[in-house]
A and B are shown apart, each in its own frame.
Chain A
Amino acid sequence: MRISTNTCRFASALAVLLCGILATGAAATGQSETQTKSTAAKLATQAAPAQAQPWKKIAIPPLHDFKPQQPKRIELANGLVIFLQEDHQLPFINGRILIRGGSRDEPATKIGMISMYGEAWRTSGSSTKSGDALDSELAVKAANIETGGEEANTTIGWSCFKQDFDSVFGEAADLLLHPAFKVEKLAIAQRNMATGIARRNDDPGSIADREAIKLAYGKDSPYARQAEYATVNAVTVDDLKAWHDRSVVANNLIVSLVGDFDSTQMEAKLRKVFEPLARGIAIQAPKSDFPGPKPGVYFADKEDVNQSTVILVGAGILRNNPDYYAISVMNEVFSGGFGSRVVQNVRTKLGLAYSVGGNLGSQYDYPGIFGAEAGTKSVSTVAATKAILEEIGRLKTDPPTPAELKKAKDDVMNSFIFRYDKPEKILNEQVTLAFYGYPSDFLEKYKDGIARVTAADVTRVANKYIDVSKLAILVVGNKTQIQPPLTGLGTVTDLDITIPSAPGKPGAAVGK
């Protein structure tokens, strides 16, 4: 039990002995739709009056009054935006700077650059302090400064006791303004990437996620491209420097802090550091086509598994779509928790899967993915796929019952408080909205929007956005065990998941 608190990826892989009841629901494609919960089955309405339902007599008093405190927003003359959220519960201060531009903006010949930038930036250190020296200095204070590279942004963040703020923030600012990218630290990042590439076919779930995204966006899309030995080895320290110089400009940055500080004093400290920053060109989302997947059955063979991972892949939506609310409710009805249709039918009723779920996903500034997924024993691959397809089809033909609709909405509304029950959550929400240029009242509007959704809306959006004939069916599994064969689902295209080797020996280019 204790080891599950270990933060390490592999140690927690070793701790999988903790077997929870509910596997990740809508995990399919990494299109992290807001976490949602359940809805209902018609069965609930069939409960005979013979059975007493004592819980209905339990009073639910009004929720205690709660006014979440909004962060203070400051925009500097150079375009840099600051959010400050005071939280005096604990003597810590955490900060984060979001910088526009991420892996979707890296050149096709250098895929992996942003990820390695995110690692080597911090491990190299600044012009005045090496990364190694910084490691020791921070560890003594139980503080940290970390950098990272993601799809749409890079980050630098820190966390420290409040009495250490000036020194820790000073180091973080130094790292932001005077980084010293080093060849040997880039080499470590390259080796780590190479390790990831070599291992990417070990786990069927990650093969499936990756291939699903490639099917949805096209393998050369900025949202689906994958790093290879050649693209990783092509990255140089000069590339990292150039990226840094391009992206770290005032109007490309959002700075946010939460913790035990006084906002007025903090504002003054931050102004001093950030006001001298020059403006530059803010990085925009790349232009890209989203044709959606090519329908058909796609298969990746993995002979050492006894379970198939099935993902049905289609096109998703932008989050600012006016149908977003109806789609959110539809997702609840489909897969929002134990009471949802796929869990009820594919897991509970048919016992075909432990992990099952899916949704019509959305993203802030590009279309998400529709994905529905299940892990099922090899011999039930076709049966489970058909069961999910049937549930998808039913979204279009069977409007949610009044009970289903009520439950779907109740799930969202009654758990709504958990979107803002901590000052840090409110801050992060505001930063995300600002980052993508969404209105700051998006969350409140969301609540109202959900309240107005009708059963007819759900059926309408299911018909508008889901076309079963356009879905790609992806299966990762053991060919020798899959009976009846996948041809029962359509024409099968075999996917080649062979890992292209590096020029010369794998890893040779990064050397020792």
Chain B
Amino acid sequence: MSRMVSLLLTLVMGWSVAARAQDMTQVLAGFEKRTTVKVLPNGLTLIVCERPEAPVFSFYTLVDAGSANDPEGASGLAHMFEHIAFKGTTEIGTTNYPAEKVALTRLEAAYSAYDAEVRKRVGQDANRLATLKKAFEDAQTAAQKFVVPNQFAELAEENGAVGLNASTGEDSTQYFWSMPSNRLELWAYMESGRIGKPVAREFYKERDVVQEERRMRTDSDPIGAMVEQFLATAYVAHPYRVPTVGWESEISQVNATEAAAFHAKYYVPSNIVVAVVGDLKAADTMPMLEKYFGAIPPGPKPEPMTTIEPPQFAEKSLVIREATQPFYLEGYHRPDYRDPDDAVYEAIADIFSNGRTSRLYKSLVRDQKIAADAEGFSGFPGDKFPGLFAFYAVPVPGHTPDEMRDAIHKEIEKLKTTDVTDEELEMFKTRSRADLLRGLDDNEGLAQQLADYQTRFGDWRELFRKLDRIDKVNKADIRRVANQSFVENNRTSSRIEFTQPTQATQAAGGAK
């Protein structure tokens, strides 16, 4: 165990409100001693945090680009590339890269010719289409000969990797796993390779896999399907209106050339933070890490996505009538995470949602007995750009989405007109602090938080300093923000109304 953390955290105990800032400063000081940040000459940021408690480490690679950066007409590309990042590199996953490269170039040409024929609105020739399709499939088979399928992930797994996965969100894309610490150099080799020289092999089969993912998460999941429609309604201009997984037709059209272009533009070292936490010493390992990660070719930082959602000026709502149990969701636009009121929104989410002392539980679940679950939460679907503050409720049998809406509105109205109690505010602040502390003995969670805060604020210390902003939240702030944000014209709502299936809907559903 770490003496330092233990010693410093001991001081945290028994704090008083006045002593809080002081305490967290000391916890932060402990982390300062164990945490090293280095920006390499190519622009990549490395964070090493030493936690020698057990001979393991976790890493978290955060690429500051997500589906909000998908090009127009190619929704799902960021996510598609995330899948491709498991297909290997110029060295891993191939039996002969130079020959494979030639085959992949031919494959792209064959796909492009086939695709052009498929998309022809006028004058499509069936024979030509069949020939081009055959040529594409042959080229695919030819390229496949050089592939060692899944070698990248296998190499990690046979070396003891656990929790190997990645995720794509609207705001960013992240890769992570944990390993025994004697595999640190192997990991550095693999991770720098996948960032620097990934190969989009088996692309068109992976597209099918992603379509299955879409069917599972969106098409065949009533809540997933509702969320997609909800966001497409709430946003008119900003890419938050487009699903991360992509629209079905666009997933079916993206190609490996586009994926490579996405990589070239967004996977530049200056757009990436890699955090490693665990049994490693910065002084000993930094030269090795630099050797691998420093070799990634530099590139210009991508221009930011600059579309700004215009202010909403009319209330919007959608109703889904399906043979699915009722549900209610509503959202209000709010500023992004850098806004001075960010902590105020956090306070509202906590007071409305955190546990059985929360307002929505007490009101809708415990006292009115109309919902099984009700919450408010922030940053939906992201918070790098202005996202939504959303509320939802799950009615118990016999109760309707309209009752959920009315009950939520009553609570929002109360928030606008009456101060929250001292106790509520205090619970929020205490919990924020305890939650932060509770996460500090977890390599995986720490790696994520360090990379996240470093990306968002340019300094991981913000993870601790945010508590200062939380401590400053007062009752007037909460009323002000509630009155500002939670207004009719800024609202989008969505409800699912249970409707018995009919033959007609069955036919429509089957007409795929």
Contact = CB atoms under 8 A, between A and B. Distances in A.
User: On chain A, which size bracket covers the interface?
Assistant: 35 or more
Contacts of B353: 8
- For B159, B224, B378, B390, the residue with the greatest tally of chain A CB atoms inside 10 Å of its CB is B159
A377 B215 contact: yes
Given A47-B148, A344-B150, A163 B13 contact: yes
Interface string B292-315: 000000000000000000000000
B427 interface: yes
Contacts of A54: 91, 189
Contacts of B434: 142, 161
A360 B10 CA distance: 47
Nearest to B185: A58
Contact of A1 (B171, B392, B435): B171
User: On chain B, which size bracket covers the interface?
Assistant: 35 or more
Interface in B147-173: 148-151, 153-155, 157-162, 164-172
A25 to B, nearest CB: 11
A16 B54 contact: no
Contacts of B206: 351
A147 B205 CA distance: 47
B6 A10 contact: no
A196 B397 CA distance: 9
B153 A191 contact: no
A378 B337 CA distance: 41
Contacts of A196: 372
Contacts of B213: 19, 23, 354-355
A142 B182 contact: no
Interface in B202-225: 202, 205-213, 215-217, 219-224
B5 A19 contact: no
Interface string A32-50: 0001011011011011101
Interface in A61-76: 61-66
Interface string A132-166: 10011001111010000000000000000111000
Contacts of B168: 18-19
Contacts of B216: 23, 205, 307, 354-355, 375
Contacts of A92: 437-438
B332 to A, nearest CB: 15
- For B9, B52, B205, B209, the residue with the greatest tally of chain A CB atoms inside 10 Å of its CB is B209
Interface stretch (B122-130, B457-465, B504-512): B504-512
A136 B421 CA distance: 12
A13 B223 contact: yes
B426 interface: yes
B212 A195 contact: no
B491 interface: no
Nearest to B441: A89
Contact of B366 (A136, A188, A421): A188
A44 B1 contact: no
Interface in B486-512: 501, 505-507, 509-510, 512
Contacts of B52: 64
Interface string B167-190: 111111000001011110110011
Nearest to B100: A51
Given A55-B190, A88-B1, A188-B369, A22 B183 contact: no
B158 A90 contact: no
A474 interface: no
B158 A414 contact: yes
Interface string A5-33: 01011110111111111110000000000
Interface string A202-217: 1111000000000000
Interface stretch (B112-120, B380-388, B469-477): B380-388
A505 interface: yes
Interface string B348-381: 0000011111000000011001001101011111
Given A303-B501, A307-B219, A353-B209, A21 B397 contact: no
B396 interface: yes
Given A1-B172, A91-B9, A187-B369, A14 B390 contact: yes
Given A17-B381, A20-B165, A191-B369, A41 B220 contact: no
29 contacts: A1-B172, A1-B379, A3-B379, A8-B375, A8-B377, A16-B223, A19-B213, A53-B91, A59-B185, A62-B182, A89-B1, A90-B440, A92-B438, A131-B356, A187-B369, A188-B365, A192-B372, A192-B396, A203-B221, A304-B322, A307-B215, A350-B205, A351-B207, A351-B212, A353-B209, A410-B160, A421-B56, A422-B53, A506-B397
Q: Which 3 A-B pairs have the closest CB atoms?
A: A414-B160, A338-B153, A142-B434
Given A51-B96, A90-B9, A142-B431, 16 more contacts: A10-B223, A20-B165, A35-B162, A37-B161, A38-B157, A88-B1, A90-B437, A141-B430, A187-B369, A202-B222, A339-B154, A354-B210, A376-B212, A478-B510, A481-B512, A507-B398
